[in-house]
Structure 1
């Protein structure tokens, strides 16, 4: 991939695409209220990947990737692969165009990073190596770690899914992506620092039996509080996947408990539903 200085045409096209998808991108960003808790699960399945999430104020988006013939393609299943749907075209170039339009931020006036959760579906080591190569030209907008020191950028990539490249990531002197931890990482005797694992993610159904119906059992509420408290004490954020996502009182009850406990990212495929819930 050519360095940024030679990508003027690509960035211009990305900016044009962003403006076409979101009329008046820089102006629209002023009108959208960024929602720090909102995470777009399987974001690429929406009609306008990334753009729909940003139009709803989401500050974290998730993209699944496969390494195919040297390119990172975005899809949930191999049967859905499309050579035109690359990580660069759907996410990296539009984010860069937006950051440039908004003078260094994804949302104008919002100076916190937007999280790009990249779920590697297969070939974890090789896919990460290619991802690192592709991220380098975008490094000016990315959060970066150099010798353990974190410099926050407009976009923070976090690696999830097939995380077989952990050892390679830890050995890198300069890194433009972070590692998505699990509850085992939270319980480790010598836990990795937040500069490597800023996020702890877990399957809700593997730790909790409550699905939002009836009262939240006291023991489960205490467990949730312990998980969040331990992570926050280490400077890490918390996210759960596989939470109920069908509109209704059960989902609202569970989201309310997550919010009250201080969970940092609420996972959903229903962009409007979570936006409305958080704005209420």
Structure 2
């Protein structure tokens, strides 16, 4: 009886090991549609996103005493939670250790930086910090894109004219749905984001109407035709809604529930042609 139990436990352990190995092999490619909204509120900012195969994260920043602190409001801030410490330095180390994920097969990792207040003053500091990560960040000089592993996109209080005037420029601008017909080049405005609830009635329960489904697909078509990616925020944490976004080819799916979206997207990728 003891021997039988021993071999049963051993067999179970081997199966678990093989299953874990299979899971790891299936997850080697990042989930390009997965976007960690307010990522800095996770238990381990950035690392939780990377561990769940996310390829896009969002960080709010506020300028305090010359330093860029990460947080949504001033009562959340701490002097040891800087943009450098939570995101720029860890991303630099990550791509040094994972050089295969910085090749042409992979789109750049998106670091969406949401400036909460005083856009021009914040950007003066931010642009100087970004210059120090030249080998990490996709940039644009004299109208030509220089590709590197991470693409910074500025959202929130965007000093659009300042960003546009930079040469070289280490960040792009996050547009809005009103920018779908903009003539700005995609290397300047690579992303369009907008509030889901401002444009759609569907809240992720039951069926989406055909009219709204058609509207969503037309928005995606217009963005892609201009070389831009598309994202919606304030989306319900609903698998029914996520399925509509995947089917419509929305580029970034917003979530605060990283593991839930991870487990949802894996079979979607496996089932895709």
Change over 3 Å in CA distance of 1:132–1:30 after alignment to 2: farther
How far is the alpha carbon of 1:187 from its aligned partner? Answer: 3.4
Q: TM-score, normalised by structure 1?
A: 0.83
- Look up the match of 1:129: 124
Q: Deviations over 1:20-51 (max 9, x none)?
A: xxxxxxxx999644101000000000111000
Do the aligned partners of 1:104 and 1:141 also contact (CA within 8 Å) in 2?
no
Partner SS for 2:247? helix
How far is the alpha carbon of 1:217 from its aligned partner? Answer: 1.1
Distance in 1 (alpha carbons) for counterparts of 2:51 and 2:105: 14
- Output the aligned Cα RMSD: 1.8
Distance in 2 (alpha carbons) for counterparts of 1:91 and 1:30: 26
Distance in 2 (alpha carbons) for counterparts of 1:48 and 1:29: 23
Alignment match of 1:58 (pick from 54, 58, 76)? 54
Alignment match of 1:235 (pick from 220, 227, 249)? 227
**Is 1:140–2:135 an aligned residue pair?**
yes
- Look up the match of 2:179: 185
- Look up the match of 1:92: 88
How far is the alpha carbon of 1:98 from its aligned partner? Answer: 1.2
Q: TM-score, normalised by structure 2?
A: 0.85
- Look up the match of 1:159: 154
How far is the alpha carbon of 1:222 from its aligned partner? Answer: 1.2
- Look up the match of 1:195: 187
Structure 1, unmatched stretches of 5+, are 1-27, 246-250
Structure 2, unmatched stretches of 5+, are 1-23, 268-273
- Look up the match of 2:217: 225
- Look up the match of 2:270: none
Do the aligned partners of 1:40 and 1:60 also contact (CA within 8 Å) in 2?
yes
Alignment match of 1:111 (pick from 106, 131, 144)? 106
Distance in 2 (alpha carbons) for counterparts of 1:30 and 1:130: 40
How far is the alpha carbon of 1:111 from its aligned partner? Answer: 3.3
**Is 1:204–2:199 an aligned residue pair?**
no
Q: Deviations over 1:120-151 (max 9, x none)?
A: 00110111111110011111111001122112
Distance in 2 (alpha carbons) for counterparts of 1:213 and 1:43: 26
Do the aligned partners of 2:27 and 2:53 also contact (CA within 8 Å) in 1?
no
Change over 3 Å in CA distance of 1:129–1:30 after alignment to 2: farther
Partner SS for 2:155? strand
Distance in 1 (alpha carbons) for counterparts of 2:140 and 2:177: 23
**Is 1:78–2:107 an aligned residue pair?**
no
Partner SS for 2:80? coil
How far is the alpha carbon of 1:112 from its aligned partner? Answer: 2.5
Partner SS for 1:140? coil
Distance in 1 (alpha carbons) for counterparts of 2:95 and 2:225: 31
Looking at CA atoms only, which structure, 1 or 2, has the larger radius of gyration? 2
Partner SS for 1:60? strand
